[in-house]
Amino acid sequence: MHRKTTEILNFFSQINAIPRCSGNEAGVAKWLIGWAEKEGFDVQWDSVDNLVIRVPASLGFENAPAVVLQGHMDMVCEKTPGSNHDFSKDPIPLVYEGDWVTADGTSLGADNGIALAIAMAIATSPEVQHPPLELLFTVDEETGLNGAKKIEPGFFSGKIFLNIDSEKEGIFTVGCAGGKNIRITLPLESQPSDERQRPIRITVSGLRGGHSGIDIHRQRASANVLLTRMLQRLRKGLDIRLAAFKGGTVHNAIARDAEAIVLVWDESVDRLVESVAAFEREVRLEYDPTEPMLEISAAVEDPLSAASGVATHHATGNAVRLMTALPHGVAGMSRQMPELVETSCNLATVRLSLSRLEILTSLRSASPSRLVELSDKILSIAELAGATVKIDSEYAPWPQDPDSPLLKRCREVYVQLFGREPEIEVIHAGLECAVIGDIVKGMDMISFGPDMENPHSPDERLNIPSIEKIWAFCKALLESYKPI
């Protein structure tokens, strides 16, 4: 392993020792402030703990334009059902598997901890000759770019902006989709459970999941969608009552697991179990070979207490109809770039309690008008069901600038280093460039990063050789700004 790669992974390991799920970045922010002060760098933070660490220019670069290296401190905290990991206190050790780094049963947090580690290594390396640097580390990116939205003009000064939050080395990202979340709340009428009704736990598990922007077109199953399909099928032949539904974890991950508890009359238990087994066989054929570990099971539970409430027949039907009607997946492809998803929706999380059903659906689009169209469709479905809605985490797309001087420079440096042209892309995921470029005018921005697979899932892994290539590229790019 290259010496610099080892140094970067050492920084990353220290970052991963600190819990940093979205909304819990105070610990890692404090650690970064301590590191910056120890190195003698000026550090500033705002009201939500976004940090900017100022690194003086190398000798001869004092008059070069300031360059911003940007990443986010938080991570998506996902784990396998069998994992006992506590994201509020447990470190995430790095597990090495050949050319890859992963974690044990949890998401790795390379999205975006590796950006912090690369920036820290650049800032402290005597081998890198660079302009004035501003390391901009934001909070709460994964829940809707919320930290970036709080940045005030003047918090940093640089206009050359390097976002290290892309997941394929050799690709420069120059634009991204906009998005919003819609939270749907449906009131549910409940009634006491009947002792002649038997609770059945229906579980969907073993799905691959993935990033709801990057992976939404890969034909992966959503546990929320499959469980809803199962419930809709059961309703057609059986009198079922919903007692619970829990599926998905965060807005930007495709749901990997979901479970519901339904009540049926004793004489219908065998028919329900048989229906679930038949549905599993059908769905396995649908998703072969995309979802090799898919499982759908039904287990008879102990009777509920007489005081336990369940949704009424009408409320159960209304809840299942609402979930069935909500869109999920690709809603449209780009007309300008036919291989790019333009608009999509992720049926992200579902929670059913005694008195209400709560659904979080996440929308993305490169087209503001198509985003409005999809949003209006979901709002109409919710209104027809008698639900209330709340929209949050809205952000505009990051439009491509084909005349970007930064893009031209990056391409030239990349070709000189590696002897081939980099790919240029616009992505369907959201990047902080969209928000920051809207707040701070006149930014010249690009996004890149090392190879990463399956972010936002326990299968997340980071390619080690690609870290060395990103290091070499950053070093050469920064050195290209030396005044003549």
Q: Encoding tokens for residue 447?
A: 């996004």
Q: Is 163 helix (H, G, I), strand (E, B) or coil?
A: strand
Q: 74, 444, 460, 468: which one is catalytic? A: 74
Output the CA torsion sign for 119, 123, 124, 127. Answer: positive
Q: Among candidates 322, 305, 397, which has minimal Cα distance to 356?
A: 322
Q: Which amino acid makes up residue 13?
A: S
Distance CA 103, CA 100 (A): 10
Alpha carbon distances (Å) from 27 to 17, 106, 114, 137, 464: 10, 20, 17, 13, 27
Cα separation, 390 vs 182, in Å, equals 6
Q: Are 142 and 74 in contact (CB under 8 A)?
A: yes
Following DSSP, what letter does each residue of 109-176 receive, concatenated?
Answer: -HHHHHHHHHHHHHHH-TT---S-EEEEEES--TTTSHHHHTPPTTS---SEEEE---SSTTEEEEEE
Q: Of 211, 461, 251, whose CA–CA distance to 341 is shortest?
A: 211
Q: Mapping DSSP to helix (H, G, I), strand (E, B) and coil, where does residue 195 land?
A: coil
Asked about 74 being catalytic, the answer comes back as: yes
Cα 443 to its chain centre, rounded Å, is 25
Distance CA 439, CA 441 (A): 6
User: How far apart are alpha carbons 389 and 372 in whole angstroms?
Assistant: 15
Catalytic residue of the set 25, 141, 167, 451: 141
Cα–Cα distance list, 283 to 221, 292, 348, 374 (Å): 9, 11, 20, 27
The neighbour count for residue 423, using CB atoms within 10 Å, is 10
Which residue carries 């509920």 as its tokens?
A: 304
The C-alpha atoms of residue 466 and residue 444 are separated, in whole angstroms, by: 25
Query: Cβ distance 241 to 313 under 8 Å?
Result: yes
Residue 449 DSSP SS3: coil
Nearest residue to 231 (alpha-carbon basis) of 202, 211, 256, 209: 202
Instruction: Identify residue 10 by its one-letter amino acid code.
Output: N
Please indicate whether residue 86 is annotated as part of the active site.
Answer: no
Rg of the chain over all Cα atoms, to the nearest angstrom: 24
Positions marked catalytic: 74, 141
